[in-house]
Amino acid sequence: MIDIYTLESSAGVIVAMGGQTPNNIALGLHHQRVKILGTSPEMIDNAENRYKFSRMLDAIGVDQPSWKELASYDDSEKFCEQVGYPVLVRPSYVLSGAAMNVVHSKDDLSAYLNQATSVSPGNDPAFGFSSFCPHFYSLLCF
């Protein structure tokens, strides 16, 4: 992509299509001095990085469900038992989409984590776990 960007003397790149992939590469492109048109890579990172997003919510006084980023099955199971099922589980650095799942039991947790790690072996093994609030709604504004 960098070769095409340079060869074409592009005015910039729009990182918008392709699901999670554009969000995953935006910051790296920015660090390689590619001009990103639209939402800045730093703001994409602030939304996708659960720690940064949580700190922003805390700073403006917005309540949020209990959450943790965990890499081991044992720690994941302990967190789920602590907050109670159901629990929202997503790969780290993912806000929403098909990779998210709501697990309702220890068996669901095991099945989801086994499936998710087999689909993307070798990637970041951490997952985000959030207490699931069935009567809450998430709105995406564009």
How does pLDDT run along the chain (142 residues), one tens digit per residue?
Answer: 888 888 899 999 888 766 677 777 888 899 999 999 988 899 888 887 888 888 999 999 998 888 898 888 899 999 999 999 999 888 766 656 667 789 999 999 999 888 876 655 455 567 888 888 777 766 655 5
CB atoms within 10 A of CB 125: 15
- Residue 140 within any structural domain of the chain: no
66/29 same-domain check: no
75/126 same-domain check: yes
- Residue 38 within any structural domain of the chain: yes
CB 66 within 8 A of CB 83: yes
37/66 same-domain check: no
pLDDT attached to residue 11? 93
Residue 20 CA to residue 96 CA, distance in Å, equals 9
* CA-angle at 19, arms to 88 and 105, nearest 5°: 20
- For residue 121, say if its preceding peptide bond is cis, omega within 30 degrees of 0: no
Residue 81 tokens, joined: 């038992």
89/39 same-domain check: no
Residue 131 tokens, joined: 């207490």
Domain of 116, in residue numbers: 62-131
Q: What is the CATH number of the domain that holds 118?
A: 3.30.1490.20
